[in-house]
Amino acid sequence: MLIRSKLPKCRTTEVAEIFKHNLTSMERKTKIHAEDGKQDLKITREFDLPLELLFKAYEEPNLVEQWMGTKVLKLENKKHGSYQFETTDPMGNKHGFNGAIHEFVPNQKITRTFEMENTRYPIQLEFLEFEKLTNDTSKLTIHIVYRSVVDRDQMLKLPFAQGINWAHNRLQDIVNNLK
């Protein structure tokens, strides 16, 4: 077809350029630092909250439940302690998460493992560091170490993949409703 032959080849790099431009101009409070070919990543976030309040959000089970949108079955904030969470997804399926707590220093740090139950994802190691910036602001740095580079990249892509899955489910719902 004539029109087709006249069209320039579409290159994904061109698309990527457009996005890159837009990314830099966006305000981003939460930052993800993930270097290519490494098995770890860092999540940083500055909060408009005093350090003590930020830490409390991680310490108190009822607060954790509120902001994480999960049920807290167990939360022992101490060395050799452990935690157990349970989340219900939009389809009503329950997902369990748990881990062991290795370090718990109030207003400073939490070191723990994280396991997604009944999945093929390996257990990960998390270093959470809490810092005071000013009297009213604080910073959280989460350093996550995965079993391998592939495992890290898979976890990074998970929310993206889920977005597509939900889209499929939503389309399925619409189709089912038409029947």
Closest CB to another protein among 79 and 119? 119
CB of 150 to another protein, least distance (A): 15
**CA–CA separation, 91 and 169 (whole Å):** 10
How buried is residue 82: exposed, middle or buried, by Cβ count under 10 Å (0-12/13-18/19+)?
middle
Please report how close the Cβ of residue 117 comes to another protein at its closest, in angstroms: 19
Q: Between residues 11 and 80, which has the closer beta carbon with respect to another protein? A: 11
For residue 54, the tally of other CB atoms under 10 A from its CB is 22
Interface residues with another protein (CB under 8 A)?
1, 3-4, 7-12, 14-16, 18-19, 21-23, 26, 28-32, 34, 43, 45, 47-49, 53-54, 56-57, 63, 66-69, 140, 155-160, 162-164, 166-168, 170-171
CB of 76 to another protein, least distance (A): 21
In the complex, what is the shortest distance from the CB of residue 167 to another protein, in angstroms, rounded to a whole number?
Answer: 4
Nearest to 114 by CA among 68, 141, 83, 87: 83
Question: How far apart are the C-alpha atoms of 18 and 15, rounded to whole Å?
Answer: 5
